[in-house]
Amino acid sequence: MGTSLTPGSAHPHPGTGGKKPAAEKSARPKRVPADCGDLPFVIQRDGTWLYRGSPIGRKELVCLFSSVLKREAGGEYFLETPAERGRIAVEDVPFVAVELDWTGDGRQQTLSFRTNVDEVVTAGPDHPIRVGHDLLTCEPTPYLLIRGGAGALGIEARISRAVYYELVALAVPEWVGCRRMLGVWSQGKFFPLGELPPGGDA
């Protein structure tokens, strides 16, 4: 593969040189990225990016690669620039929510999360929290939708254990249908974290 999707590159894709007139740009057919097959990248469960088995030590480089991360309808992850695209391996989900900030309380509460690549996302209708099961431990694990798009599955962050404890401290009981759930509010939407036992309360 070329150098545009390797850690040694300064940018994930080459520059385009001189600017073209707007009319010429609109007339040009959309470029299809060259398929480079499987790339030697792995994103570990803890959010560490590996290249050929070694951690990428420069955070700014990880942030740069994460900005061109895509997920296709089949669930596979790709690094994609205008020139090239290649499949990468992801052990669980690509990101980890490592910090929580909140304002307000109850139904007026707003929860904002910072990921390990310094992307800040506010939970709400467009960025829901769900509780799934960790693929390794099978334990209930909360996830936050970071990016979504038409024709592609969403890209999520696993909410770290420390942040999850903060969520539990903010949780309140609510009825969801006929089930009494413990969960959190953000941007007017309630996100269940777990079901309360009969007679249980927050």
Same domain, 10 and 44: yes
Same domain, 145 and 76: no
Q: What residue type is assigned to position 179 of the chain? A: R
188: confidence class by pLDDT, cuts 50, 70, 90: very high
126 pLDDT above the threshold of 90: yes
Closest CA to 102 of 172, 54, 49: 172
Burial 145-168 (b: 16+ CB within 10 A, else e): bbbeeeeebbbbbbbbeebbebbe
Residue carrying structure tokens 């334990």: 139
Same domain, 112 and 85: no
* Residue 25 CA: distances (Å) to CA of 16, 17, 19, 82: 12, 14, 9, 14
**Lowest mean pLDDT across 37-51, 74-88, 121-135, 158-172:** 121-135
Domain that holds residue 186: 95-195
Last residue of a domain, one of 90, 111, 144: 90
**3-class state of residue 180 by DSSP:** strand
Q: Residues 50, 53, 56, CA angle at the centre, nearest 5°?
A: 35
Same domain, 116 and 65: no
Which pLDDT value is given to residue 95?
97
201 assigned to some structural domain: no
Same domain, 100 and 171: yes
Rg of the chain, C-alpha, whole Å: 20
Strand ranges for 22-81 from DSSP E:
34-43, 49-51, 54-55, 69-71, 77-80
Q: Write down the pTM of the prediction.
A: 0.82
Which pLDDT value is given to residue 152?
58
Same domain, 28 and 112: no
61 assigned to some structural domain: yes
**Could you give phi then psi for residue 107, rounded to 5 degrees?**
-70, -15
81 assigned to some structural domain: yes
Which carries the bigger pLDDT value, residue 106 or residue 60?
60
Q: What would the mean pLDDT of 17-24 be, rounded to a whole number?
A: 55
Which token pair is 39?
A: 């790339």
Phi/psi class of residue 146: alpha, beta or left (left: φ > 0; alpha: ψ in -120 to 50)? Answer: alpha
| Average pLDDT score, the chain | 87
Q: Do the Cβ atoms of 29 and 81 come closer than 8 Å? A: no
Last residue of a domain, one of 90, 113, 137: 90
C-alpha span between 11 and 125 (Å, rounded): 33
